[in-house]
Amino acid sequence: MSDQRLTSQHTKLAIIGGIRAALLAGGNATKIELSQKLSISFPTISKFLTLMESKGEVVSVGLDSSSGGRRAERYSYNPNYMLGLAIILEKNETSYTVFNCLGDVIEQGSTDSILVEEVSHLITFIKSKKDLHPSIHTVSIGVPGAVDNGIAFYIQGYEHYQNVDVKQLVEDQLSIATVVENDMNAAVIGYMAQQKPSEDISLFYLYLGQNGPGAGIVVNGRIVRGKTFFSGEVQFIPQYNEQNFLEALTSEDDEATTTGHIDKRIDAISRLVGSVTSILNPHYFILCEEEVDTSMLQQITDRSAVYVPKEHLPLLAASNLKHDYLSGLQSLGLSVLMLQRIED
């Protein structure tokens, strides 16, 4: 790798990010091991490790046993050197977690809903957490609406956030690297981070929701966002002569707890499974475990087979949405942390 390329800030960040990721994944390593793993010259690895050690980001954990020559020094990453803040903005409450570079939780909790307030309340909240944890270097924010590169542009019922560039606002006012993501996309990212499926996996994650149904979609291991970042807004999918998916779910013909109402919801979801199967043919169709039980899952599977041949149906499963959601936001935050500059 040439000296000229090393002067590039992008290249420096890539090297630093590679060292961070390698040490976090492996626990510890010597300079030689890092050089071989990252295909970066020994002098370059040595230079950056020395810099990172001087900042307290990397620590020496001792010398290897002697094999006749000079003993190599072994290094590990200080996971608390940088922290991330993940925030879930929901209708009824705001959930958050402060985590380190290993994903370990430093603090977690919930507070009143910030979505119903001016965006300035979000800034104040983030600042309060930064004051408590000065090592916070990134914030990842989940919102119940469509997001285009940090701009929440379809977030029904929350006019304070409509068409607001939340990412730019936080970065400008607090100088913290920020990621803003749609709630179901974040949930899908978290689900995959935990399950570690094969790279070519396709899945559909449905949430019936407090604000209407939404979905996260993965095709061949990649999030599908769509031409206008509107993918997953499944409430608009036509299902009956005069009803879309949302209207079918919220039919007022029966009380929500009656057998008739539940049967209509099962049929609406089953029709959606059939549509998704016909278009995407995914491996998995994930629902939220707080919205369906084992009996409903079986009924949806059976009813879906009425609309498409059973052998083509995805595996239906339930998962913990909030856990997946927070995990996804943490994963997004960790990706940003890996590419943070070393402070002067």
The percentage of residues in the chain with a pLDDT greater than 90, rounded to a whole number, is 77
Q: What pLDDT band is residue 1 in, cutting at 50, 70 and 90?
A: very low
Please check whether residue 313 lies inside any domain of the structure. Answer: yes
Which of 24, 43, 77 terminates a domain? The answer is 77
Whether 50 has a pLDDT exceeding 60, the answer reads: yes
For residue 9, the domain's CATH number is 1.10.10.10
Do 180 and 279 lie in one domain? The reply is no
Do 303 and 203 lie in one domain? The reply is yes
Do 221 and 239 lie in one domain? The reply is yes
Whether 281 has a pLDDT exceeding 60, the answer reads: yes
For residue 259, the domain's CATH number is 3.30.420.40
The percentage of residues in the chain with a pLDDT greater than 70, rounded to a whole number, is 93
Do 312 and 211 lie in one domain? The reply is yes
Expressed as residue numbers, the domain containing 242 is 196-319
The confidence score (pLDDT) of residue 154 equals 86
Do 164 and 121 lie in one domain? The reply is yes
C-alpha–C-alpha distance, residues 145 and 99, integer Å? 25
Q: What pLDDT band is residue 308 in, cutting at 50, 70 and 90?
A: very high
Do 110 and 210 lie in one domain? The reply is no
Q: What average pLDDT score do residues 294-320 get?
A: 95
Q: Are strands 105-112 and 214-219 parallel, antiparallel or unpaired?
A: unpaired
Please check whether residue 343 lies inside any domain of the structure. Answer: no
Q: What is the pTM of this model?
A: 0.88
Do 232 and 180 lie in one domain? The reply is no
Do 69 and 93 lie in one domain? The reply is no
Long-range contacts of 195-201 (CB under 8 A, 24+ apart): 197/221, 197/283, 201/283, 201/284
Higher pLDDT, 98 or 68: 98
The confidence score (pLDDT) of residue 341 equals 82
Q: What average pLDDT score do residues 175-194 get?
A: 94
Rounded to 5°, angle at Cα 93 from 320 and 129: 100
Whether 163 has a pLDDT exceeding 90, the answer reads: yes
Please check whether residue 46 lies inside any domain of the structure. Answer: yes
Please check whether residue 63 lies inside any domain of the structure. Answer: yes
Whether 65 has a pLDDT exceeding 80, the answer reads: no
Q: What average pLDDT score do residues 250-270 get?
A: 75
Q: What pLDDT band is residue 2 in, cutting at 50, 70 and 90?
A: very low
Which of 39, 54, 77 terminates a domain? The answer is 77
Do 204 and 313 lie in one domain? The reply is yes
Whether 7 has a pLDDT exceeding 50, the answer reads: no
Do 229 and 312 lie in one domain? The reply is yes
pLDDT digits (tens, 9 = 90+) for 35-48: 999 999 999 999 99
Do 291 and 202 lie in one domain? The reply is yes
Please check whether residue 329 lies inside any domain of the structure. Answer: yes
Higher pLDDT, 130 or 154: 130
Please check whether residue 203 lies inside any domain of the structure. Answer: yes
Q: What pLDDT band is residue 252 in, cutting at 50, 70 and 90?
A: low
C-alpha–C-alpha distance, residues 167 and 176, integer Å? 9
Pinpoint the alpha helices (H) of the chain: 3-6, 9-26, 31-38, 42-54, 119-132, 166-174, 183-195, 245-249, 259-279, 294-307, 321-337
Q: What's the structural domain count of the chain?
A: 3
Q: Is the CB of residue 82 less than 8 Å from the CB of residue 133?
A: no
pLDDT digits (tens, 9 = 90+) for 190-246: 999 888 777 789 999 999 987 789 999 999 989 999 999 999 999 999 998 889 999
- Taking the CA of residue 45 as centre, how many other CA atoms within 13 Å lie in the half-sphere pointing to its CB? 22
Please check whether residue 344 lies inside any domain of the structure. Answer: no
Sheet containing 29-30: give its strands across: 29-30, 73-77, 58-63
Q: What average pLDDT score do residues 145-155 get?
A: 91
C-alpha–C-alpha distance, residues 194 and 154, integer Å? 29
Please check whether residue 211 lies inside any domain of the structure. Answer: yes
Do 201 and 177 lie in one domain? The reply is no
By three-state DSSP, how is residue 20 classified?
helix
